[in-house]
Structures are given as C-alpha cells and as structure tokens.
C-alpha cells in the first residue's frame, strides 16, 4: 500500500449534531472522506485559561487517507468557520483489509467509478 493510501481517522468536535452531520456528509460527497460517523453527545473537558472547561459536543469521525487528510482538514476549517476547530488525526494501524482497500479507492475517485461499501 502506498503511504498516501494509508488510512487515517479525523476526530472533530462540534457544538451540536447537525453541524457535525452536515460537514461530515459534505466531505464524503466531495470525496475527501470515504465514510463518517457522528456520536451525537460526548462530554469534553480541558483546561482553558487556567480553569477546567466542560462542554457537551458532537464528535465527527471521518475515515480518509493520509493523502487526503490535509485537504480534508483545510476544508473542514473553511466550512466550520471557527479559528478554534479541534481536529485530531489518528493513523489506523490495521483493520479489515477489504474495507481499507475500499476506502483507499473511494476518496478522490470519480463518482461514476466509486465502489459500494463492503457489505452492501
């Protein structure tokens, strides 16, 4: 597998489910991610300005490739419009080979050639 085809997950938090779904679906439609999922309610906490800050947020998880990650992150920032967008990229060290192969072919492929998700 080429380095650019290695699978990465992008984790992105949003104030609410609607924005997470809308932006995630847009990146899948634009072929920057092969798939995504939204966990509608997560409780986050961090130190901000010396104080513990707690939030209830939605978590978007996008499945993409190393070759598309930078482009996808830039597009998320553009669509989100917030200078404080939190994105974490995690390299996938393994998984179902059939799915990983499908994902590598699904991003940035012409829509007419896009293959169905394994299991469909």
Q: Domain 3-110: which CATH class? A: alpha beta
pLDDT for position 37: 97
| Residues of the chain with confidence (pLDDT) below 50 | 111-113
- pLDDT score, position 39: 98
Task: Answer for the pair 64, 91: CB distance below 8 angstroms, yes or no.
Answer: no
Per-residue confidence (pLDDT) for residue 4, from 0 to 100: 84
User: Where along the chain do its domains lie?
Assistant: 3-110
Cα–Cα distance for residue pair 118/51, rounded to 1 Å = 46
Q: What is the pTM of this model?
A: 0.86
């Amino acid at each position: 597998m080429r380095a650019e085809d290695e699978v990465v997950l992008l984790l992105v938090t949003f104030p609410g489910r609607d924005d997470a779904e809308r932006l995630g679906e847009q990146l899948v439609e634009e072929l920057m991610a092969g798939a995504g999922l939204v966990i509608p309610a997560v409780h986050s906490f961090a130190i901000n300005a010396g104080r513990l800050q707690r939030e209830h947020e939605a978590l978007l998880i996008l499945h993409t490739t190393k070759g598309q990650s930078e482009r996808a992150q830039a597009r998320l920032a553009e669509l989100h419009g917030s200078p404080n967008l939190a994105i974490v990229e995690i390299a996938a060290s393994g998984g179902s080979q059939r799915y990983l192969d499908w994902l590598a072919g699904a991003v940035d492929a012409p829509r007419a050639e896009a293959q169905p998700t394994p299991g469909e």
